[in-house]
Amino acid sequence: MKSIIRNFWSLLTIISTIALIGSANAADPLKVGFVYVGPIGDHGWTYEHDRSRLAIEKAFGSKVKTTYLEKIPEGPDAERAIQQLARTDHDIIFTTSFGFMNPTIKVAKKFPKIKFEHATGFKRAENVSTYSARFYEGRHIIGLIAGKMTKTNTIGYIASFPIPEVVRGINAAYLAAKSVNPAIKFKIVWVNTWFDPGKEADAANALIAQGADILMQHTDSPAAMQVAEKKGIFAFGQASNMKAFGPNAQLTSIINNWAPYCISRVKAVMDGAWKSQDTWDGIGPSMVAISKFSEQIPADVRSMAGKARDAIAAGTLHPFTGPINKQDGSPWLKAEEIAPDGDLAGMNFYVEGVEGALPK
């Protein structure tokens, strides 16, 4: 019995050694790694990042080999996951959640030759770039549409965590809605999660019960869209196109379109032209995409929204253009003043008119 087991183990060892040698040979294509915080099937944040991975495969064919690690929590495991990719000879590694910032920096120090791309963070290094999208530009568009289309003058907003990106989104949507509808009111509910379909649906129901007839969300599941569809009201999709979940309810979706950026960065590595940089792109370079406007939107509103979209893309319109006061009435931007990126990046206040206190 003992010898059988010993033989079995030695057999396994031999097989694994052969397997290892086999895998070491195919080192030709550029290896691209992705670390995801959620499952690729979340139909939101991670789903869109994974689409950019697939776009890379499509664009470069056999010249690249992509790998991903999904469902990596933003805790003690993150650093190992990133390092696992680094030590398996990946040439460029995308770490796609804010909580991977410090682990990415740590691993990057140990692997100076590997390029790292961290999404939504603010720490960079020689071999670490950061990239994020100006989602607030999209929020300006949906704010305009919502302001025009609401009958109850009440917009329900499902928010995740009070980080600058989310606060920026609320402010941008509010200012735009207010500009076309001075009576507008935003009801904001913080669910303290990026992803809990049940809770997001509860929040949507609560907001509708309180009079909201259009929903906006900054959480990742299509739950709120489904609730809107069922209740016969309108909603805006977030992260990915959610039309399948609300064929009548969806007015448009703000889509995180990472593919062009990711492809350009992989190309840069191939060409030896990769440099550390901070990218914060919006509708212009189509990192933020606006899905097709619904037929439910009146033609004049559609054309207004379309014009705003084109103006933002062309750089002639900035969603945060003064005069804007903070919630407490203190001035933030003077007339015609455009918000500096620094202010936007660390935004931790509501603008004047938004009700309620920002959670601390």
Residues 12-41 that bind other proteins (CB under 8 A): 12-13, 15-16, 19-20, 23, 33, 39-41
248 lies in the site for other proteins, by CB under 8 A: no
Kindly indicate which of the ranges 142-150, 198-206, 258-266, 284-292 contains the residues binding other proteins, using the contact rule CB under 8 A.
198-206
DSSP 178: H
Identify residues 155-194 at the interface with other proteins (CB under 8 A): 156, 161-164, 167, 187-193
User: Which residues contact residue 5 at a Cβ distance below 8 angstroms, ignoring those fewer than 6 apart?
Assistant: none
Amino acid sitting at position 239: A
**Phi, psi dihedrals of residue 322, rounded to the nearest 5°:** -60, 170
136 lies in the site for other proteins, by CB under 8 A: no
Give the max Cα distance, the chain.
86
In a 13 Å sphere around the CA of 2, the CA atoms on its Cβ side amount to 0
Looking at the Cβ atoms of 19 and 338, the one nearer to other proteins is 19
Q: How far is the CB of 42 from other proteins (least distance, A)?
A: 6
Return d(Cα 342, Cα 323) in angstroms, integer.
Answer: 18
Identify residues 43-102 at the interface with other proteins (CB under 8 A): 43, 47, 67-71, 73-77, 79-81, 83-85, 87-88, 98-99, 102
Length of the chain: 360
Looking at the Cβ atoms of 225 and 305, the one nearer to other proteins is 225
Q: How far apart are the first and last CA of the chain?
A: 64
Looking at the Cβ atoms of 171 and 283, the one nearer to other proteins is 171
Q: How far is the CB of 298 from other proteins (least distance, A)?
A: 27
Return d(Cα 99, Cα 120) in angstroms, integer.
Answer: 9
Among 245, 258, 320, 332, binds other proteins (CB under 8 A): 245
354 lies in the site for other proteins, by CB under 8 A: no
Looking at the Cβ atoms of 188 and 262, the one nearer to other proteins is 188
Identify residues 312-331 at the interface with other proteins (CB under 8 A): none
Q: What is the SS3 assignment for 178-191?
A: HHHCCCCEEEEEEC
113 lies in the site for other proteins, by CB under 8 A: no
Identify residues 211-240 at the interface with other proteins (CB under 8 A): 221-223, 226, 230
Return d(Cα 115, Cα 266) in angstroms, integer.
Answer: 10
CA distances from 351 to 210, 324, 325 (A): 22, 7, 6
